[in-house]
Structure 1
C-alpha cells in the first residue's frame, strides 16, 4: 500500500519526496544543508552529479510503501528512465537548521 506524500510523517522528508516527484530541482536543493552528503548502496557519491543523473535528468519518482524512525526512514519503489523501477530504502539525517545534512539510499 502506497503512502501518499502529503501523509508522510516528517515534514522535511515529505518536502523531499514532493520535490523529487514534481521534478523541482530548486525546491530540492533548498532542502539540503550547504555541506550535505549522500550515499548510494553504501558508497558516498558526488551529490550534485548523483541527483542530476539519478533524479532530475532521468525523471526520478518515489512511491513510498513504508516509513519508520519518525518518518526519516522510507521503503519505496523508485523509478527513473535509466534503471526502471526498483525497491529502495532511504534514510535521512536532518540538522538543527531543519535541512537534510545527509541521505542514504540503496536497493532494499
Structure 2
C-alpha cells in the first residue's frame, strides 16, 4: 500500500515526488538547490544526466511505501521504461526548503 503524495510529511520532499510523478522538469529544478548533488547505489552521479535518463526520458514514477526521518527517508516502488519496477530507498538532505542532496539505491 502506498502513501498518497499529498500526505508526505516533508513539504520539500512532497514537491520533489510531485515533480517526478508529473514529469515536470521545471518544478523539479525549482525544488533543488543550484549546487544539488546525488548518488545512486553509493556512487555520485551527474544529477542532470541521471534525472534525464532515469526519470524524465524514461517516464519515472515514485510510489511511496513508507517514510521515516521526518519524511526525508522514503521507501519507494520506482518504475521507469528502462528498468521496469524496483524497490528503492531515497534519503533527502533539505536546506532552506530545497533539496541539496538525495541518495537513492535498491532497498
Give yes or no for TM over 0.5.
Answer: yes
Partners of 2:23 and 2:59 in 1: how far apart? 7
Q: What's the counterpart of residue 106 of structure 2?
A: 107
Q: SS state of the match for residue 3, structure 2?
A: coil
How many corresponding residue pairs?
A: 107
Q: What's the counterpart of residue 30 of structure 2?
A: 30
- Residues 3-32 of structure 1: CA deviation (Å, up to 9, x unaligned): 000000000000111000000000000000
Q: Does 1:43 align with 2:43?
A: yes
* CA deviation after TM superposition for structure 1 residue 98, in Å: 1.1
- Residues 43-87 of structure 1: CA deviation (Å, up to 9, x unaligned): 000010000000000000000000000000000100000000000
* CA deviation after TM superposition for structure 1 residue 99, in Å: 0.7
Q: What's the counterpart of residue 63 of structure 1?
A: 63
Q: Does 1:3 align with 2:3?
A: yes
Q: SS state of the match for residue 33, structure 1?
A: strand
- Structure 2 gap ranges (5+): none
- Structure 1 gap ranges (5+): none
RMSD of aligned C-alpha atoms? Answer: 0.4
